[in-house]
Homo-oligomer: A and B are copies of this chain.
């Protein structure tokens, strides 16, 4: 036998859950996509075709729906924890369960200035995210985040003084559009008992405000740090935050062939290629 089984994991992805709570005054709506993964001593499933230790991924799916009413009452992190706990209990062979949750936002419809009882409109494309990892040994790790949060500012951003080699053609600029789609994920200070939803609200505000207010941005990197620092400052429970910020390039169009002056006014928004900046800012 020349081969043996190494690390492995399995699960279910793309479980779509919509939960309605029919309150006396009004309905509440939750809209989640859930991914589940199990790790453990599953080698014989692969090498022998022995399914005895396997919780079917269809069962993972059912479990999300079965636990929703009871356990999706507050944060997605708490729901993720209940799910992970359940998967570990149901699967003795598993050593760890990981549940990844994405919450899609809906805005309540306003009619004549008043909140409607049960109608919603899809709002910002930004989503709340969480990854909850539990071990059979009791170890727990929660990462929370925000994704698809796209921001742009029309000035206050430069890029100059960078390395130049024989393949460098990019001109320096002291004024450009800065645009990015933020993916943020943070972990919590050990021993803290965070109010997950509050942290996400405050973190989001800190990210957007610091992006807007950073008026001498020298690079995406420079602004990334300011944004990470703002979250660390604003959220005492956050231990570190990792930001992934693609540089969504906006190129000023050369209108001089047409005798038109383009003073930072007319831009092409490009899709590819794009810069990617990733970095972690830690609490000192």
Chain A interface (Cβ < 8 Å from any Cβ of B): 1-22, 27, 29, 31, 35, 37, 42, 45-59, 61-63, 65-66, 68-69, 90-91, 106-107, 109, 111-112, 116, 118-125, 149-156, 159-170, 177, 208-209, 211-213, 216-222, 224-225, 228-229, 232-233, 240, 242, 246-247, 250, 253, 255, 257-258, 260, 262-284
CB-defined contacts of A21 to chain B, threshold 8 Å: 265
List the B residue with the shortest CB-CB distance to A92: B163
**Copies of this chain held together in the complex:** 4
**A75–B111 CA distance with the chains assembled, in angstroms:** 26
**A2–B282 CA distance with the chains assembled, in angstroms:** 8
User: Is B219 touching A163 in the complex (CB atoms < 8 A)?
Assistant: no
**A233–B3 CA distance with the chains assembled, in angstroms:** 8
**A112–B213 CA distance with the chains assembled, in angstroms:** 11
Known contacts A160-B51, A221-B8, A273-B12: does B120 contact A123 (CB below 8 Å)?
no
List 10 interface pairs A-B (beta carbons < 8 Å), by A numbering: A6-B279, A14-B272, A18-B177, A19-B267, A49-B219, A50-B218, A54-B219, A59-B167, A106-B152, A111-B213
CB-defined contacts of A63 to chain B, threshold 8 Å: 167
CB-defined contacts of A253 to chain B, threshold 8 Å: 65
Give the contacting residue for A6; candidates B19, B53, B280; CB below 8 A: B280
Q: Closest CB-CB distance, A186 to chain B, in whole Å?
A: 12
